[in-house]
Each structure stands twice: as structure tokens, then as C-alpha cells.
Structure 1
Amino acid sequence: MYCDQCGSRLSQASSRCPNCDSAPPLPPSAHFRSRPGGDGADDARGKKPEPRFDPAAPPTQRSRRWGPSLLLENPWANLAALATAWLNLPLVVLFSAIGAIFGAVAGLFSGGLAGPGVLSRLDLVLDLFVPLPVDVEELLPTASVLIGGTIGAIIGAVNGALNLAYTGLVAPWTLLWQLNPVWPIALLAGQVVCALALAIGYVFYTRYTERSALYLAGARRPSRREAELFLPMVATISARMGLRSPPPLLIDDSRAPKAYAAIQHIVITRGMLEVLGYERSMVSGVLAHEIAHIKHGDAVAGTWTKAIALPAFLVFEIAYRLRARSGLFFALFALFAWSVLVCVRLVVMPLNASRSRRAEERADREAARAGYGTGLYNALATLGTGFDGARTGWDRTVLASHPPFELRLEALEEPGGLYPLPNSHAASVRRDPDTRLYKD
């Protein structure tokens, strides 16, 4: 028997590793409790003591998280997805932009002699492209009509955007109410039911076709040697985290250092293993982080939000792929899909990315509680220069799926430990041949 943290040989009677003082691999009867002597008080750094793995704790087992509580984990993103794909939010955004443009033009000229003539011509254009029961004069408050110029344009843009946004939000439901008071309620209920049915079907489809999709993406089953190395580690980590059965592990031969958890499977690339030097504790830390994602169903929650907004995401993907094309058709498609892109990119995706960052922090904590914090810390320190990349711009900050690298390291630091920069400890661990999964 070998220690899954440092690789030292253990006797059958060993209760702790003589080299790193960690608990040896244990059967699924183990679980966690608070660290010895912990009473919930803050430590010297102001952090609550995290519960640690304890082999002497009574047996318990937990299944993977699945159910309504998981699907409702991210309510604001789910509501934004529902509004974007099913409740006309892109239409409201489009009307708001049209109102801002026409209001700004009208406000710019309204204070001069050309004001009345400009407003009447804008009415013709508005009736031609956006036939709404709104006149251009209604987009301008009295102050804008009197002032004109730059200030009038600003006032007209704001008032026009709010006016047409309100019209786009209320007008469809008002028209239905005038025809039959039951129709708005029936339409709303029908849209919600269709959204939920599509989302449930898409999540189950993704779950049950996941293995085939991962194979097509380049993943494969572990070889005999890889299975002998990694499957016991996955089983031990799953037991420590309270899972009834370990998730399947797949290997991707890509040289990019990546590891991720899907709904049911864990995928780790050969590039990740090579960068970590096949060092036991760091590989265990990475696997523990991904198994924590499986335990909490993080991939299910993310897929659920995307499934609710699936029609909008399809338009978003098509528009994104066609963004570099030229021609009248692509220009018209981009014009009409613009509001969908705005809603998905500025509303749905940031909320989903925020949930993803919280899930990453929770997976780090879960791995540390199971006794793999040091290995995960060293793995992150080793991969830090190329793990998350630069965090600049909208994509790298608001839409980032991972928290900042250095803050993840800080959360994994033990009270009283020494963590100097640069991360020389991780480099020394990686070069130590005694901690390799196999010897050269």
C-alpha cells in the first residue's frame, strides 16, 4: 500500500504516513468532520476552520447532487435565460436602442428652426421600420424640445430608450389582454412550460450522450497502465468525498494542460499530467477538485441555464460564427440578431460565469477538506502562468469561469504556513523523483 499524497510505501498497520503525516487510502466508510480541537472560532487569519478529513469519523455516504435544488441553484441566471429566450427581452433591448437613436436625433434638432420638419420626417421613418403607436414627439420630454443641441440629444436618447423599452415590454401583453384577458396568462404559462420541457430534454440528452460526445472530442478510456495509476486514486478521493461510486475517468491526448468535469465523467489531458510531472499529490489534488464538481453537479447547473436559453444561444453561436462574413444577408442577420447577442453576452453569460466562479471556489474548498489541499495548491502554483490566462477585458474578467489564480492559492493556504513568491515549493515537489507516480 502506498500513500496517495507522497507515494511512500506504507505497512498495513500504518494509521498515518510517516513521511507526510497524511491518512492512508481508506474505504468508502470514511467521511469528514471538523479538524481536532476546532470549535468554529476564527483562526489568526480571520478564516473559519474548514472541516478536515478524519478516518475515525463514523461511516456515511452521499450520492451525487441531483434534483430541483440543483436546478434552482442559480435563480438569477435562470430568470435571465428565460426572459432572453422566451419573454421578449431581446425585443425590449432592440426597441430601447431604436428609441435612443430616434430620441437623440429628435432632441438634437428640436430646439432649432428645423425641429418640426425633422420630427415629421422621423415619424415617417419610424412608421416605416418600426410601426408602433408612438410618435417621435412622445420620445422627447418638454425640456428636450426647448433646449435642443447636445443636451437635448442626451435627454432625448434617455427618454426615447425608456419610452420604447416600456412599449416593447408592455404592448404585446396589452394587445393580448384587449383581445381576451386569459390569453396573456395562457401565453406566459405556455412559454414557461415549453422552456422547462426543452431544458429538461436537453439536460437528459447531454447526460446520456456525454460519453459519445467526449469520445468525438478526443477523449478515450485509460490504458491498462493509466488505469492502474489513476483509478485507485479516483476511487480513494470519491470515498473521502462521500460518493457511492467513483465517476468514470477519461484521458485526452491533447498537450494542453487541462482537466474538467462533465456531468458524469472526468477528463484529464496528457498535457496536464506531463506538466505536473505525474507527481502523485498534485495529480490527486487536480482529480479531487474535479470530483468535487461531480459531487455538487456543477456541470448540470451550467447546462440547465444554457438549456433554458437554448434558442438564444443558438442564435448567438450562429451570429458569432458569421461575424467575419460580408454581404447583405449577413448584415441583415447581424442587425436583427444584435439584441439577442447583447442579452446573451451582457446578461446571461455574466450571471452564469459568476456561478461558475463560485463553483470553482467550492471545489477548491472541497478538495482541501478531503485532504488534498497541498497537492492542489502545488498543482495550481505549477500551472499558474498558463492556467487561467490574463484577466483583462470583458471576456477575461466578467465572463471568466475561474476566480483569479492568486486568490485561489490564498484560499488554499494553511494558517501559519510559509508561501513565498515565486512558488519554489511546487517546483521542488515536481522535480522530486520520490514523489512520482512511477519511477524512471
Structure 2
Amino acid sequence: MPIKPSLPFIERLLGGRPTGFPNLLVWLELGILRNPYGVLTALVAAWLYIPAALAAAVSLGLYGALLATLFSVVSGDATIFASIVDIPLFGDAMAALSAKTSGVGAAVAGAMAGMAVGLIVGLLWIFIGPFQDGLIDGLAVILATIAMGIGVGLLYTLYRVLLERRLLQISGARRLSRREAELILPLVEEAAARLKLPGHPPVLIDDTDDPGAFAYTRHIVITRGFLEHFAYDREAIRAVLAHELVHWHNGDPVSALFIRGVALPLYLVQAAAGFLLNQTRNSLLRFLIWTVFWPVFVTVRYLVVPTQAVESREAEYRADQGAVLAGYRSGMRQVLSSFRRSFEGGRNGWAAAICASHPPFELRLERLEEPDRAYPLPEDES
């Protein structure tokens, strides 16, 4: 019996990665540098304390509103506006208006002033604070902070790539059963061949009831809920496997890992807080969670996610078109029409926020239309 040659240790350790790259470093480099604006935003948001600036702005805004309201009770709104606004006629008009608002005008003015001062002070503290001891020291602090963020991102990416199989098993993924292998392996091999890929990663099954499919750096995971949702329909399975193969081969999971690693402080808080929100149905507890973690939610939703949205949307369109090029247009439309939401949704607050940046499914369906065919609503699933 011939002895099979043993693979090098690094190849065994990193089995399942795309082989169309010259070496491991090129694969990681292309994935890491795929979305530089997303990396920059994650670096600024997580390591330059943007949530702290937002918290300072709102805290001082509420403090200003409280002080203005108390002062209006003692001295009257007219006194406040007349003393603050010395512009002829305008000050009198504001005082007259405030007299009709029963203190609301003072509270609003105090809140606006407090928020403006808080935001300015917070941002100045973030960006100017390091330079209090001199230009050289300030630059050293900024550069060290940037190096720390990039270093954490690299270490996190390597950790997730190297231990991916074990981490997936801990999260509930398992190997294919005999019957599942007989069904799925020929389909993924066919999809990889049609996409002209030299190979494909191992496919794992997650026994959750939620329909989903996910591309990781060295694995593809498909849920039992997805298989049952489509009654093990081969066309739908082929299409979603082709979609995930494109993500895998293009290094999209590596890019997502690196950005998550750079934003690790935000990621940990957002993931934990988002998990608590998803698990909590009590309105009071949900309000308390929002009260504590809102600066992180706002930073991720309105700063980090928008800078990732452009690349995220293009990656989804590329993966959809990959399924079309493989000959699975109808299957991809079947999957998108059935869900009308992301089948790649995450299990925590961070992943859910990032998946929210995916393009609307109607626009994805539009890009999958054949030129000479009509696609009226409602969707014809036949």
C-alpha cells in the first residue's frame, strides 16, 4: 500500500484556505487591505474613544438642559434669553417666545449648548489631549495607538484563522453526516468546478433551526434550518454554496476579521450588548441596556457600518454574480426571494449591525434578472 506524502505542518494547520494565491502572506495581505476605509474608521472609532466623546456631549447636554430649566424657574425664561442674546429685536423676540413655552425654550437652549460644548470638549480631549506635553510626545502617543490597533487586528485575525475549526465546533458546527455528505459534497464540488476554483473548503453543518449559510476563512457552514427550509432542494443549495465560495475565494472573511480585530474594544461591547438585547424581552431591561451602551451602538451604526457598507455591498453583488456565472441564477433568485433578509446574519450585535449594510434584497434580485425576461411583482416562484 503506497504511503501518502505528509503535508507540511503549515499546510495541515491552514487546510481549507484558498489555494489560488502564491502563498499564505499574499492571501492574508489581500484580505486585510481589501477595505482600507473600513479599517481606518474602525481604528479611529475604537482606539480614539469616539463613544466617550458622544457620551460627554449628551451628558453635558442633559446637564445644560437641567441647569437652564432650574434657572428659568428662578429667574424666568425672559431673563435667560435677554441676558444671553443681546442682538436687538432678536433677543426680545426670543424672550417673548420663551414666555409662551413654560420653560421648554430654556431647556432646549440649555441642551443644545451643553451638547455642543460636550462634543467639542470630548473631541478636543481625544485629538488634542495627547499633544498637551508637546508635539513629539503627542505624535508618539498617536502612532503608538495606531500601532496597537493594527497589532491587535493582526493578532485577532491570525487567532481566528488558525483556530477556526475549533471555534466553529465550539459554536455548534459539526462535520457532515454520511447522508449529508452524499447530498452536499457533489454540489460543492460542482459549484467549485463551474467557478474554476482549484478546490473548496470543508463544509460543516450547524444544527440551528435558523436558515443560514456562512463563508469563513477556511470553512463554509450551512445550517440545518436552511436545508429544511428549502426541503433539501439541490438548486437552492448549489446557489448558496456558489455564493459562499466566491466570498471564501475573494478573501472577504479575512477582511471582515481584520476590521473586527482592529475594532476589538467596540466589537466586544457591541457583541455582548447586542446579545443581551436579543435575549431580553423586558422593556425596562432593554431600556437600561440602551442607556448604558448607546454610545457604542451609535458609533457602530452610524460611523463604522457606513464605511463598510460600500465594500460589503459590492462583495454581496460579486457573490451573487458568482452564482449566476456558475449557472445557478434561478437558484439564487429562489434563495433571495424566499428570505427577503440576510441569510448570512450574525449571532451577536456586531455581526447583525454589519449584515445590515448588505444591499436590499430587491436590488440584489434586480441584478439577477435576465435581460429579455419580465419579472413582475409578486415574485413568481415557479
TM over 0.5: yes
**Cα distance in 1 for residues equivalent to 2:116 and 2:47:** 21
**Residue 296 (structure 1) shift:** 1.7
Structure with the largest fraction of helix? 2
Cα-to-partner distance string for 1:303-327 (whole Å, 9 max, x where unaligned): 222211111222334444566699x
Match of 2:339 in 1: 384
**Residue 196 (structure 1) shift:** 0.7
**Distance 1:368-1:63 versus aligned 2 partners, 3 A rule:** farther
Give the residue type in structure 1 aligned to 2:181: A
**Distance 1:221-1:176 versus aligned 2 partners, 3 A rule:** closer
The TM-score with structure 1 as length reference comes to 0.64
**Cα distance in 1 for residues equivalent to 2:153 and 2:133:** 31
Q: Does 1:359 align with 2:315?
A: yes
Q: Does 1:86 align with 2:47?
A: yes
**Distance 1:234-1:333 versus aligned 2 partners, 3 A rule:** closer
**Residue 206 (structure 1) shift:** 0.9
**Residue 77 (structure 1) shift:** 3.1
What are the equivalent positions in structure 2 for 1:386-425 lying under 5 Å apart? 400-425=356-381
Match of 2:8 in 1: none
Cα-to-partner distance string for 1:223-282 (whole Å, 9 max, x where unaligned): 334334332332232233243321211123334322221122111223322333333333
Match of 2:229 in 1: 275
Q: Which range is displaced more, 210-219 or 349-358?
A: 349-358
Give the residue type in structure 2 aligned to 1:84: A
Give the residue type in structure 1 aligned to 2:55: L
**Residue 169 (structure 1) shift:** 1.8
Match of 1:135 in 2: none
**What's the secondary structure of 2:327's corresponding residue?**
helix
**Cα distance in 1 for residues equivalent to 2:184 and 2:276:** 42
Alpha-carbon contact 2:227-2:237 (below 8 Å) kept: yes
Cα-to-partner distance string for 1:150-186 (whole Å, 9 max, x where unaligned): 4454444333322222222223654543423321111
**Distance 1:155-1:355 versus aligned 2 partners, 3 A rule:** farther
Number of positions where the alignment pairs a residue of Structure 1 with one of Structure 2:
336
**Distance 1:212-1:353 versus aligned 2 partners, 3 A rule:** farther
Give the residue type in structure 2 aligned to 1:384: F
What are the equivalent positions in structure 2 for 1:7-22 lying under 5 Å apart? none
**Cα distance in 1 for residues equivalent to 2:222 and 2:352:** 23
Q: Does 1:235 align with 2:196?
A: no
Alpha-carbon contact 1:250-1:267 (below 8 Å) kept: yes
Match of 1:295 in 2: 249
**Cα distance in 2 for residues equivalent to 1:190 and 1:331:** 37
Cα-to-partner distance string for 1:17-63 (whole Å, 9 max, x where unaligned): xxxxxxxxxxxxxxxxxxxxxxxxxxxxxxxxxxxxxxxxxxxx944
Give the residue type in structure 2 aligned to 1:86: W
Task: Return the match for 1:104 from 44, 65, 71.
Answer: 65
**Cα distance in 1 for residues equivalent to 2:209 and 2:289:** 38
Cα-to-partner distance string for 1:90-149 (whole Å, 9 max, x where unaligned): 221122112322333455566786279x99xxxxxxxxxxxxxxxxxxxx7767998464
**What's the secondary structure of 1:83's corresponding residue?**
helix
- Structure of larger gyration radius: 1
**What's the secondary structure of 1:371's corresponding residue?**
coil
Alpha-carbon contact 1:257-1:270 (below 8 Å) kept: yes
**What's the secondary structure of 1:278's corresponding residue?**
coil
Match of 2:16 in 1: none
Alpha-carbon contact 2:49-2:126 (below 8 Å) kept: no
**Cα distance in 2 for residues equivalent to 1:333 and 1:253:** 30
Alpha-carbon contact 2:212-2:343 (below 8 Å) kept: no
**Residue 71 (structure 1) shift:** 2.4
Alpha-carbon contact 2:42-2:263 (below 8 Å) kept: yes
Match of 1:41 in 2: none
The TM-score with structure 2 as length reference comes to 0.73
**Distance 1:206-1:176 versus aligned 2 partners, 3 A rule:** closer
**What's the secondary structure of 1:268's corresponding residue?**
strand
Task: Return the match for 2:300 from 344, 348, 370.
Answer: 344
What are the equivalent positions in structure 2 for 1:235-254 lying under 5 Å apart? 235-254=189-208
What RMSD, in angstroms, separates the aligned Cα atoms of the two structures? Answer: 3.9
**Cα distance in 1 for residues equivalent to 2:64 and 2:214:** 49
Alpha-carbon contact 1:173-1:184 (below 8 Å) kept: no
Structure 2: state its 5+ residue gaps: 1-18, 99-103, 345-350
**Cα distance in 1 for residues equivalent to 2:274 and 2:234:** 41
Task: Return the match for 2:158 from 204, 224, 233.
Answer: 204
Give the residue type in structure 2 aligned to 1:74: N
Q: Does 1:374 align with 2:330?
A: yes
**Distance 1:213-1:401 versus aligned 2 partners, 3 A rule:** farther
**Residue 75 (structure 1) shift:** 3.5
**Residue 398 (structure 1) shift:** 9.0
Alpha-carbon contact 1:350-1:398 (below 8 Å) kept: no
**Cα distance in 1 for residues equivalent to 2:204 and 2:263:** 29
**Distance 1:317-1:325 versus aligned 2 partners, 3 A rule:** farther
Q: Percent sequence identity over matched residues?
A: 36
**What's the secondary structure of 1:415's corresponding residue?**
coil
**Distance 1:397-1:415 versus aligned 2 partners, 3 A rule:** farther
Give the residue type in structure 2 aligned to 1:196: I
Task: Return the match for 1:161 from 115, 119, 128.
Answer: 115
Structure 1: state its 5+ residue gaps: 1-60, 120-139, 390-394, 427-440
